[in-house]
């Protein structure tokens, strides 16, 4: 990274830190509240109909898919989003050919291999914008489910691949430890992964179109 780029990242990070401290609240409180808001697969065991149980499992997992930590990176267009409001990323970075940003303004230039809470900069190795075909913003749960199951939109993944991705992908796991001023999704990563596994095992059924 050039000295100029470093100075730019520091300035951006400082601005993000002010914003986070002004509106983020105590993330420990948010985590405590959210952990009680995602039920595990066992909560749906009493649903005798396999299809209805599968749908119920996905609807519960949908609380995560529709959370800002997921939607902001799965923006569905050429621009990442920020904060719980899903504001366009500042500076105006673009996807680039590989999802890691355009030349001269690459994601890893600012987003390093760990959160930098001193200035409110999120980070983990491999930080990038999800392919546009995997966008979550503006989709109902039925649309998200259909997209997840479509190999033409999900990166040529099978249902088993999706289960593995959700369980092991570092960016997915990061969402539950997003750093100072950012609200994690409901529940825990383990509960979310268990819901997706149970959804797959019950036929990976999708909610009906509203």
d(CA 166, CA 112): 22
Average pLDDT on 63-90 reads: 92
Instruction: Give the tens place of pLDDT for each residue, 39-62.
Output: 999 999 999 999 999 999 999 999
d(CA 13, CA 132): 26
Sign, CA torsion 149/69/28/120: positive
Instruction: Give the tens place of pLDDT for each residue, 90-136.
Output: 888 898 999 999 998 899 999 999 999 999 999 999 999 999 999 99
Instruction: Give the tens place of pLDDT for each residue, 134-159.
Output: 999 999 999 999 999 999 999 999 99
- Domain-wise residue ranges, the chain: 3-201
């Amino acid at each position: 990274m050039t000295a100029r780029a470093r100075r730019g990242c520091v300035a951006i990070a400082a601005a993000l830190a002010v914003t986070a401290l002004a509106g983020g609240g105590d993330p420990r409180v948010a985590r405590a509240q959210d952990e009680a808001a995602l039920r595990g697969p066992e909560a749906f065991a009493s649903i005798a109909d396999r299809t209805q149980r599968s749908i119920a499992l996905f609807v519960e997992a949908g609380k995560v898919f529709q959370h800002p930590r997921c939607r902001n990176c799965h923006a569905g267009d050429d621009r990442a989003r920020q904060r719980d409001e899903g504001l366009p990323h500042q500076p105006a970075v673009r996807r680039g050919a590989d999802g890691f940003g355009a030349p001269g303004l690459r994601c890893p230039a600012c987003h390093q291999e760990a959160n930098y809470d001193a200035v409110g900069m999120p980070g983990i190795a491999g930080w990038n914008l999800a392919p546009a075909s995997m966008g979550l913003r503006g989709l109902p749960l039925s649309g998200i489910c259909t997209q997840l199951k479509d190999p033409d939109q999900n990166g040529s993944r099978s249902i088993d691949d999706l289960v593995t991705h959700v369980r092991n992908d570092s960016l997915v796991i990061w969402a539950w430890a997003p750093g100072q001023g950012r609200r994690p999704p409901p529940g825990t990563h383990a509960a979310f992964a268990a819901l997706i596994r149970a959804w797959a095992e019950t036929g990976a059924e999708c909610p009906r179109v509203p």
